[in-house]
């Protein structure tokens, strides 16, 4: 029974992700909001691979009539091939469907302003992971957004399923004339098959340097810090990796 239920939930997650892919091309003309950025990051002290890495990341997020979508693509070491260094790709696509907007009913309670069906597909070199669950959009003072997704996580290379809790946030603030942003996410996942429970926490602190050039909210410069306990579910592998970050929003 549980195996059948798991298969049905996986099909539901895939259906949600496919629906997100189908509706996304139409969002260019119907999006309520949309934002895209390109990042360049450089840092060291990474585990399980090259200790020093550069990464180009493309991010896109949008909101439409019945939900929102988030996508990113990481290209690691695009400019550092050779001498044992390799270029790798990793991406995630995360569509969500608003139960409140679909039903026409207000589902707000406490700090929660909306409840959504949430799905994610993770794609990397040689693996695919599927996540499905429920998302909450929170209305917190001073935050540009704060989302909390609670998933069932199904890594195809592992037996069984587990949970994943993913908060993501953006908090703008100012110190004098300086405009800053504290943003980031965390993935908190349980053990699954041979993979141990792990925590991937990636906060960023960015300065709006475009504000000094007459183009606010366009060019950001700062740092991202990665703390990853049991990286990739490998017992005892903990990563503490600072990175310099340049972000161009358009």
The pLDDT, as a whole number, for residue 79 is 75
pLDDT of residue 157: 85
3 state DSSP class of 133: strand
> CA-to-CA distance for 163 and 111, rounded, in angstroms?
23
Range of the domain at 68: 2-249
Q: Sorting pLDDT into bands at 50, 70 and 90, what band is 2?
A: very low
Report the C-alpha dihedral over residues 96, 1, 192, 201, rounded to 10 degrees: 20
Q: For 122-161, how does the pLDDT look when each residue is reduced to its tens digit (9 = 90+)?
A: 998 888 899 999 999 999 999 999 999 999 999 988 999 9
pLDDT given for residue 3 in this prediction: 46
CATH code at position 150: 2.40.230.20
Q: What is the pLDDT of residues 75-104, one digit of tens each?
A: 999 876 666 677 889 999 999 999 999 999
Q: How does pLDDT run across 171-210, given as a tens digit for each residue?
A: 999 999 999 999 999 999 999 999 999 999 999 999 999 9
pTM: 0.86
Q: Which residues contact 3 (CB under 8 A, 6 or more apart)?
A: none
Which own/partner pairs from 49-56 qualify as long-range (CB within 8 Å, at least 24 positions apart)? 50/77, 50/80, 50/84, 50/85, 50/86, 53/77, 53/80, 54/78, 54/79, 54/80, 55/243
Beta bridge partners of 187: 200
Task: With beta carbons less than 8 A apart as the criterion, state whether 112 and 136 touch.
Answer: yes
How many angstroms separate the most distant Cα atoms in the chain? 61
Residue 243 tokens read as 């990175």
CB 202, CB 183: distance < 8 Å:
no
Count of structural domains within the chain:
1
Q: What is the pLDDT of residues 10-68, one digit of tens each?
A: 454 445 445 554 445 444 457 899 999 999 999 999 999 899 999 999 999 999 999 99
Report the percent of the chain where pLDDT is more than 70: 86
């Amino acid at each position: 029974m549980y195996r059948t239920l798991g298969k049905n939930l996986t099909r539901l997650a895939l259906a949600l992700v496919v629906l997100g892919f189908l509706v996304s091309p139409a969002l260019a003309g119907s999006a309520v909001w949309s934002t895209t950025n390109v990042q360049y990051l450089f840092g060291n002290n990474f585990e399980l691979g090259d200790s020093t890495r550069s990464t180009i990341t493309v991010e896109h997020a949008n909101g439409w009539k019945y939900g929102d979508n988030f996508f990113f693509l990481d290209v690691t070491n695009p400019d550092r091939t050779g001498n044992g260094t390799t270029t790798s790709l990793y991406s995630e696509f995360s569509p969500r469907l608003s139960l409140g907007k679909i039903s026409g009913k207000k589902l707000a309670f406490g700090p929660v302003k909306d409840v959504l069906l949430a799905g994610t597909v993770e794609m990397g070199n040689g693996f695919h992971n599927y996540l499905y669950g429920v998302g909450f959009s929170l209305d917190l003072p001073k935050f540009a957004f704060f989302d909390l997704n609670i998933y069932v996580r199904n890594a195809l290379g592992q037996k069984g399923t587990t949970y994943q809790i993913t908060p993501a946030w953006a908090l703008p603030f100012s110190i004098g004339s300086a405009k800053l942003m504290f943003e980031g996410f965390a993935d908190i996942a349980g053990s699954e098959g041979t993979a141990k429970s792990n925590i991937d926490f990636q906060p960023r602190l960015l300065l709006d340097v475009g504000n000094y050039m007459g183009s606010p909210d366009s060019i950001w410069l700062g740092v991202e810090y990665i703390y990853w306990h049991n990286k990739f579910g490998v017992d005892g592998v903990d990563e503490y990796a600072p990175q310099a970050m340049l972000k161009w929003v358009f």
